[in-house]
Structure 1
Amino acid sequence: MKKNNLIHARTCVYHMNYHLVWSVKYRRKVLNETIEKRLKEIFRDIAEEKGFIVHMIEVGKLDHIHAFVSAHPKVAPSYMVKMLKGISARKLLLEFPHIKQYLWKGRLWNSSFYIETVGSISEDAIQKYIANQSKRG
């Protein structure tokens, strides 16, 4: 089972990727082009500081975020979401105070999120690989 993009750390070899999605509170359409540009900068700064990688970020319909991120296995996916949402909300609300008028209690992000692991190999391929391990000598 050969994989590209493996990262070699001191105690492990890994390739951990996640697709994260969350929305603006009340699905308010506040993520215009200017805010989106700044949000992408903020996300990359957060990731660098906290020890993970943001490969890709896109804003959908001005009201939700899609992010493709990766991290060492010791970095919890929920930690990445917490850092991205919390720090970005604080910074965006300070830099763009006018968006508070669209949000109740000044909360930028919805409290929930969607997360999915992303791999370069399908579940079926992994299951077949593992099943074949017992057949090898």
Structure 2
Amino acid sequence: MEKDIFTIKRNTLSYGRGYVYSLQYHLVWCTKYRKKVLKDGIDVECKEMLESLAQEYKFQILAMEVMPDHIHL
């Protein structure tokens, strides 16, 4: 049975050869001068790009919120 060591499960520990970890980050991106530019379809495109990056690099997004002047991830 082969185990994928790069899969992070929600609220569980990840195991690999010689280590156990649970790594979580809280990221906030703000627009310059907090201008409200993340609207009118740009917010949807940002969500899609972040979700595709998560699939490509095999990490899980637990929560995401796109506001007009910042993104919580």
- Superposed pair shares fold, TM > 0.5: yes
5 Å-filtered alignment, 1:66-85, equals 66-67=72-73
Aligned length: 63
- 1:65 corresponding residue in structure 2: 71
> TM (normalized to structure 2)?
0.68
Q: Does 1:30 align with 2:29?
A: no
SS at match of 1:5: coil
Counterpart AA for 1:38: E
Radius of gyration: which is bigger? 1
Give the 4+ runs in structure 1 shifted more than 6 A.
Answer: none
2:62 counterpart (55, 59, 65): 55
Which ranges of structure 2 fall in alignment gaps of 5 or more residues? 1-10
Q: Output the aligned Cα RMSD.
A: 1.8
5 Å-filtered alignment, 1:1-137, equals 4-32=11-39, 34-60=41-67, 62-67=68-73
Q: Hey, which of these two has a bigger chunk of helix by percent?
A: 1
Which digits, 9 at most, give the CA deviation of each residue in 1:60-90, with x for residues without a partner?
3x101110xxxxxxxxxxxxxxxxxxxxxxx
Which ranges of structure 1 fall in alignment gaps of 5 or more residues? 68-137
> TM (normalized to structure 1)?
0.40
Q: Percent identity of the aligned residues?
A: 44
